[in-house]
């Protein structure tokens, strides 16, 4: 079975810088995976991605060495099974509020007797039955990251981090800001305080933690402060800011008569 380099670096506590893809496009992923990020996230929670589309994007990413993380739309046993069967090795599950939520996600990741994942001997994940070691290795090479992005999730960080089978936690800053009464204001001091507290509490509980932050200053602060994996931008942010910058540059050059 293919080694999960994201999980290996996570376990070695090597910081990893990632990029977040929401444009649901193989072309975009081809551009991103030819860059030097440590990981790329294929989103299907807030992107128009369903299972066959994620499959094609995984195939695109697999042309290079960059590990792909996939975010399913919801913490659901069947959706998790389908994402694993198409070859996603690392899943980030949104809205995990309690240890029970985390245990449900773990059970969906694992085959019986440890969990409830349905078995197929012939999927893309096991190279259509060619990976003889798949069932023996699957728990070592799959990786479960759970998102903390609600007041309840914040309250339960230690219990969630303690769940066997949870490899890492991940802060969703936008949802967390909303849950704390600061919708759209991720930079609010209360939100920032809770984000850093989440990092400290998660580390005290012995688990790595990641975050997404397209703001360069905050991303640098999170990286410096020891978040284990940080997505520092998204494809939408890059396209939007690049498009607007090109117009501004043209206006500036025109004004200067360049």
Ligand X SMILES: O=C(O)C(=O)C[C@H](O)[C@@H](O)CO
| Residues classed as catalytic | 46
> Could you tell me if 169 and 160 are in contact, meaning their C-beta atoms sit under 8 angstroms apart?
yes
Interface pick for ligand X out of 68, 144, 161, 212 (rule CB under 6 A): 212
Interface pick for ligand X out of 15, 137, 140, 174 (rule CB under 6 A): 174
Q: Which stretch, 9-17, 157-165, 166-174, 191-199, contacts ligand X (CB under 6 A)?
A: 166-174
Q: How far is the CB of 94 from ligand X (least distance, A)?
A: 6
Interface pick for ligand X out of 173, 222, 230, 235 (rule CB under 6 A): 173
Residue 182 within binding range of ligand X, rule CB under 6 A: no
Max CA separation in the chain (angstroms): 72
DSSP tag of 87: T
Phi then psi for 76, rounded to 5 degrees?
-135, 130
Q: Which stretch, 132-140, 169-177, 191-199, 202-210, contacts ligand X (CB under 6 A)?
A: 169-177
Give the distance, in angstroms, between the CA of residue 64 and the centroid of all CA atoms in the same chain. 18
| Long-range interactions of 193-196: CB distance < 8 A, separation 24+ | 194/154, 195/171, 195/222, 196/225
Q: Which is nearer to ligand X, 10 or 171 (CB)?
A: 171
Residue 172 within binding range of ligand X, rule CB under 6 A: yes
Q: How far is the CB of 90 from ligand X (least distance, A)?
A: 16
Residue 149 within binding range of ligand X, rule CB under 6 A: yes
Q: How far is the CB of 240 from ligand X (least distance, A)?
A: 12
Q: Which stretch, 30-38, 168-176, 218-226, 240-248, contacts ligand X (CB under 6 A)?
A: 168-176
Q: Which residues pair with 211 in a beta bridge?
A: 171, 230
Residue 175 within binding range of ligand X, rule CB under 6 A: yes
> Could you tell me if 174 and 188 are in contact, meaning their C-beta atoms sit under 8 angstroms apart?
no
C-alpha to C-alpha distances, 140 to 24, 86, 114, 168, 209, nearest whole angstrom:
28, 17, 13, 14, 19
| C-alpha to C-alpha distance for 122 and 65, rounded to whole angstroms | 24
Residue 40 within binding range of ligand X, rule CB under 6 A: no
Question: Which parts of this chain interact with ligand X (CB under 6 A)?
Answer: 22, 43, 46, 147, 149, 172-175, 212, 234
């Amino acid at each position: 079975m293919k080694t999960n380099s994201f999980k290996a670096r996570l376990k070695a506590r090597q910081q990893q810088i990632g990029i977040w893809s929401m444009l649901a496009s193989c072309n975009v992923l081809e551009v991103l995976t030819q860059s030097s990020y440590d990981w790329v996230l294929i989103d299907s929670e807030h992107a128009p991605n369903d299972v066959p589309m994620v499959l094609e994007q995984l195939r695109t990413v697999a042309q290079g060495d960059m590990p792909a993380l996939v975010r399913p739309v919801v913490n659901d046993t069947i959706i998790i099974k389908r994402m694993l069967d198409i070859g996603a090795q690392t899943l980030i599950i949104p809205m995990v509020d309690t240890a029970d939520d985390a245990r449900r996600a773990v059970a969906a990741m694992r085959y019986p007797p440890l969990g409830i994942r349905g078995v197929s001997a012939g999927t893309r994940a096991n190279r259509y039955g060619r990976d003889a070691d798949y069932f023996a290795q699957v728990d070592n090479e799959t990786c479960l990251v759970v998102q903390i992005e609600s007041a309840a999730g914040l309250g339960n960080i230690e219990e969630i981090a303690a769940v066997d089978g949870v490899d890492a936690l991940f802060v969703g800053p936008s949802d967390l800001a909303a849950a704390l009464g600061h919708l759209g204001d991720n930079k609010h001091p209360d939100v920032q305080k809770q984000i850093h507290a989440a990092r400290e509490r998660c580390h005290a509980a012995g688990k790595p933690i990641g975050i997404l932050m397209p703001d360069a200053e905050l991303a640098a602060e999170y990286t410096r402060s020891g978040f284990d994996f940080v997505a520092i931008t998204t494809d939408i942010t890059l396209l939007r800011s690049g498009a607007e910058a090109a117009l501004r540059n043209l206006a500036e050059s025109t004004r200067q008569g360049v």
